[in-house]
Structure 1
């Protein structure tokens, strides 16, 4: 329970935690950033870690001169690309057995169904779009691996999506993160970056489950 409480607090106040980490440990913050992004994108059991809000906060700190922007973007890009490649490889290895897994503490069936539904409808571009959607972002490369998507094709979408996501959201933090209004409402912005895409992912999972039931009853 203490770990869960800390994780929730970290997600909702990622700006304070990262700033405090920089003040105490300096350059080690880049190792922390790599670990967070790699785990969030690379391990299908960890979809709750901050993604978009983390990048925005990093951009904000870079804009304030607290962190080095080129180094931060490079570290985040490498972590995002390697994370998706790892997740894809796990999905490719596990294969069709995934479709037999049930909802559990370590596997979010609804989020997986949402990612699979999104992938089936939109194909490879899902890998790019999913970068901007919490939960879906974690499951999309895993689903691509399960579906045996061509590795070269997946890698191309992976790199393109990572570039758009990391550079785009981080630079948004640089440009807007230190505006007084944004600073005053940062916690609300973080909530919006988590809740709105999360609701979209849940809706997608609900639709996928509903269609599956309708197909089974037909």
Structure 2
């Protein structure tokens, strides 16, 4: 049992994934990217930090995947992110109303779905681009889009733009920062912590702001 727990603890450490899985790390990356955007249970997966770490280990990824250019690696990841959002849209389209009636569980919190809907109502279809950079909304935005029957063509335009912006910006950041500062690999834990704080701070700030408004009302 302890071995399984140790595995899951390590699983949320992006560096461990790339060092432990070696040649199959790229496929683990693709599976996580798809699950994070394709299913509501994916909101707890380490998407941003994993993409950044993938950028740092970009040379190894290319070597282990038929020596393709790093540009191709990013395009493949972006493609999977697009497919993940399409899966999320389909899930929302088919069972959106049922999800609002679903009871809370370890993997599903109704409040996350409601927050994503409020977020979507505020930013409309551009929410699909913004949400790519916000962990919780990244998982629920496509589901909400499907549930409220957003035009699929319009959905796909913002889906593609969001996926390309997300993957290229984060993976290239890791790639070029590693080129300029090779010692980054020795401080990955702190960098990942910083990424988590940056991506979750807007959500925490927004929620605290709403709570204060309710108190004064």
How many pairs are equivalent?
207
Q: Which runs of 5+ in 1 are unaligned?
A: none
Using the TM superposition, give the Cα deviation of residue 180 of structure 1 relative to its aligned residue in structure 2, in angstroms. Answer: 4.5
Contact kept, 8 Å, 1:111 with 1:202, in 2: the verdict is no
Task: Please state whether the residue corresponding to 2:167 is helix, strand or coil.
Answer: helix
Using the TM superposition, give the Cα deviation of residue 208 of structure 1 relative to its aligned residue in structure 2, in angstroms. Answer: 6.9
Using the TM superposition, give the Cα deviation of residue 59 of structure 1 relative to its aligned residue in structure 2, in angstroms. Answer: 0.7
Higher percent of residues as helix: 2
Q: Which runs of 5+ in 2 are unaligned?
A: 63-69
Using the TM superposition, give the Cα deviation of residue 152 of structure 1 relative to its aligned residue in structure 2, in angstroms. Answer: 0.5
Question: Residue 15 and residue 4 in structure 1: after superposition, are their counterparts in 2 closer, same or farther (change >3 A)?
Answer: same
Per the normalisation by structure 1, the TM-score is 0.83
Using the TM superposition, give the Cα deviation of residue 137 of structure 1 relative to its aligned residue in structure 2, in angstroms. Answer: 0.6
Q: Relative to structure 2, which stretch is displaced further, 29-38 or 158-167?
A: 29-38
* Runs of 4+ that moved beyond 6 A: 206-211
Matched, 1:161 2:155: no
CA–CA distance in 1 between the matches of 2:176 and 2:188? 14
Counterpart for residue 89 of structure 2: 88
CA–CA distance in 2 between the matches of 1:120 and 1:161? 17
Contact kept, 8 Å, 1:110 with 1:206, in 2: the verdict is no
Question: Residue 210 and residue 166 in structure 1: after superposition, are their counterparts in 2 closer, same or farther (change >3 A)?
Answer: same
Counterpart for residue 67 of structure 2: none
Contact kept, 8 Å, 1:30 with 1:75, in 2: the verdict is no
Contact kept, 8 Å, 1:33 with 1:75, in 2: the verdict is no
1:28-107 equivalent positions in 2, closer than 5 A = 28-62=24-58, 65-68=59-62, 69-107=70-108
CA–CA distance in 1 between the matches of 2:126 and 2:9? 31
Question: Residue 48 and residue 99 in structure 1: after superposition, are their counterparts in 2 closer, same or farther (change >3 A)?
Answer: same
| CA-atom RMSD in angstroms | 2.5
Per the normalisation by structure 2, the TM-score is 0.84
CA–CA distance in 2 between the matches of 1:208 and 1:103? 22
CA–CA distance in 1 between the matches of 2:91 and 2:9? 27
1:106-125 equivalent positions in 2, closer than 5 A = 106-125=107-126
